[in-house]
Amino acid sequence: MTTRPDPPRRAVVTGAAGFLGSHLVEELLSRGTEVVGLDSFLTGTPANLAHVVEHPGLRLVRCDITDYVHVPGDVDLVLHFASPASPVDYLKLPIETLKVGSIGTMHALGLAKDKGARFVLASTSEVYGDPQVHPQPEEYWGHVNPVGPRGVYDEAKRYAEALTTAYRTSHGVDTGIVRIFNTFGPRMRPHDGRAIPTFVRQALAGEPVTVAGDGLQTRSVCYVDDLVRGILLLASSGHAGPVNIGNPHELTVRRIAEDVIAATGSSSELAFVGRPVDDPQVRRPDTRLAAEALGWAPEVAWEDGLARTVAWFREALADGGTGSPTTGARDGAGSVPAGAVPAGA
């Protein structure tokens, strides 16, 4: 496997202003890595990076990765995390989701190829669909409905994995694929449609907490700090993946809702609503490969991560925060030069 500097000297993060991207940027900066953050601000927001935007090691660039990509200078690592990721977003933005998974991935891979950089693709547990194998190992091919409402996200990520593998085998690009399971933590948008931010927002407002179906479907939720640590271990390892990163501790959705109500001290009650189409019945990662190849295991307990997340939401909502994308991006942080050529064309 190719040896890379640890930490990398200079990294590019696509989707840098999103939930996961902003945590990656923050951690890379703390390790002394210079970061070029690319984001169209379609679903991400500059507010997620407000606390580090003046950091001398960060250059935040308004950039649609499906258009043209130009990053001057050396790059050691490309982390491709640009994509709508919540059901609310990819159901509203189906074409954009497919484009960033295909064209955007090609451009990010082309950038890594041109720079001789390590490339890590943010894939997802959604590639397993509504799984018929439990827990889900990396060898499982999945059970996905390509024409269902979730198909735009699922198939975009499956295609991105195939494209990443093709660049590795045909062009010799040093690639890695991380399959990310349900993750939670500060900077999730209260209205992004995912279970935990929805439950926390409802509980803090004293509203009914809406649980899909009977709530007996399961999820395995990982605190964001653990996820970021796993991603960067994969980035420095040279391992091709795919590698599951997620907490194998499985909870029912009803249990998650009940724990949120308890953690917020809310008087909210559960309200049961219809389940979305193709909603998976079970979801739990087989993390043996992550443990063996990366030495990774989750460290933050569900209760501790939930307490941190509730505290963040309580403060953010008290300040009037909505989690919605803002239009006040700092164009002065840099922009894609006119006439730039598409990376990887």
Is 153 an annotated catalytic residue? yes
Among candidate residues 8, 76, 13, 58, the one with its CA nearest the CA of residue 39: 13
Distance CA 132, CA 307 (A): 33
Q: For residue 126, what are its two tokens?
A: 């959604």
DSSP 76-135: SEEEE--S--SHHHHHH-HHHHHHIIIIIHHHHHHHHHHHT-EEEEEEEGGGGBS-SSSS
Q: Are 176 and 235 in contact (CB under 8 A)?
A: yes
3-state secondary structure of 320: coil
The tokens of 59 are what? 């250059």
**DSSP label at 341?**
P
> Is residue 20 within 8 Å of residue 42, measured between CB atoms?
no
Closest CA to 15 of 125, 89, 118: 89
Task: Select which of 90, 128, 153, 223 is catalytic.
Answer: 153
User: Which residue blocks in the chain are alpha helix, DSSP H?
Assistant: 19-30, 87-92, 94-99, 105-115, 151-171, 195-204, 224-237, 253-264, 288-289, 302-318
The catalytic residues are: 153
